[in-house]
Structures are given as structure tokens and as C-alpha cells.
Structure 1
């Protein structure tokens, strides 16, 4: 779940010209990879850029718009593309950033203070 917006700094990360519907894009924020996905219906979501299993880059995975599934190319862990919740395995969730559009500019809400140290989740292997 995204952070309370009062604890966020909004950072421009890309434009709609760089991220077409159905595409993924990795951007770097504060030295951390962030995965942007442009889903069907125009929704843009942002998650940690590495798989919590063994930190494979999620941008190298596959986004299936029909099933709204993101599959990591490393070991085929799967996540729901809108929520970041684990499908296989269950119980493992990607860290989600808040997203805002300003015209055609995509901004993410980056956590500040102590929350900035919690930029991605790791999960136990099941």
C-alpha cells in the first residue's frame, strides 16, 4: 500500500511518451531501481525494481495485461500487476510507490525520513 502522502517527496521519473500502455520501464531514484508499468485503462503503477526473491531486475520479466500478472525472469515468481501482491508465492508483496501524473509527466511519491530505508521488501523462500 502506498505511503501517507504527507511523508512523500514527489519526484519526476518519466513521461507518458517514454512509457506506452502495456510497457514497463525501470528508473533509478536515490540509487534504487523503481519499476513503472502502464496498465490497461491508463493506470500507471510503480514498485520496487527488483524481485524480493533474489533481486533480479523486474523490468526483464514479463507483463501479461490479460491476466494482470508480472512474472520475474529469474525464477518465475509472479505478482499481481495492480497491487504488487504475490501470486506465486502468496504472501510476498512488492513495495509500492504512489504515482501521480502532472500533464504527461509521471511522478512517484518517494518516502522521506525513516521510511526511506524501507524501499523494498524481501521475502523468505517458501
Structure 2
């Protein structure tokens, strides 16, 4: 992530999200995929596949392996890190995320004006 300042936004769609589930949300005009891993941790990634901007929320998630296969053309991602598995030369943008004991989920959106839907190259 760049050194741009981050603004935090509540994500009501992610409140009460079960472990082993994911949800898409629009946060400050950006499509974001929120993942609640089976270990209880959260992660947030760009919500569009970098291949042809297909919504990742429609993909098949293997929550035990932490992999997501895009329903558009079968690109695979490691949802622990956002790294591309197939193909390996891509990466999903990862947003900072916070979950409180009270169940609130907040995502940090960098305030640099850059789009985060095409991260097809390794950073």
C-alpha cells in the first residue's frame, strides 16, 4: 500500500459475518470483498478480479484452503495474502481492516485517488 493517508469506514454488511464466509460491500465508492477466515481473522481485498473485472464475491471460496476461484474465468487467489495462484503473476489489493469485540468492522481506504480494481501485476 502507498503512504497515502487512510480514512476508515464502517462496513455494516460485514457485521455478523460468520467465520468461513465472505461478503461484498461498497466502501467509499470502491467494491471490496470482506473475508472472515475460519480462524476468526478478517481480510479485505479489491472486489473485482484483475483479469476482466468480474465480481469476486460470485467466486468459489474454499475456506479451509483460503483460496478463491473467480467465477468469470477461473483465476485463483490466496485469500490469506491476496497473491495470485493461477496465474501467479497477479495480486489482489489488500485493504487494512479492523474488527471490534462489539462486532463492528471497519475498512481503511487510502485517500490517494487511485483505483484498486486492476492489480494484475505483482507489487
TM-score calculated relative to the size of structure 1 = 0.86
Change (3 A) 1:3 1:41: farther
Q: What's the RMSD between the two structures over aligned residues?
A: 1.7
Aligned match of 1:43: 41
Which runs of at least 4 in structure 1 moved beyond 2 Å after TM superposition?
Answer: 118-124
Q: Which consecutive residues of structure 1, in runs of 5 or more, have no partner in the other structure?
A: none
Aligned match of 1:119: 116
Aligned residues: 119
Aligned match of 2:25: 27
Change (3 A) 1:51 1:121: same
Match of 1:70 among 55, 61, 68: 68
The Cα shift of 1:30 comes to: 2.5
Q: Which consecutive residues of structure 2, in runs of 5 or more, have no partner in the other structure?
A: none
The Cα shift of 1:31 comes to: 2.3
Partner SS, residue 108 of structure 2: strand
More helix by share: 1
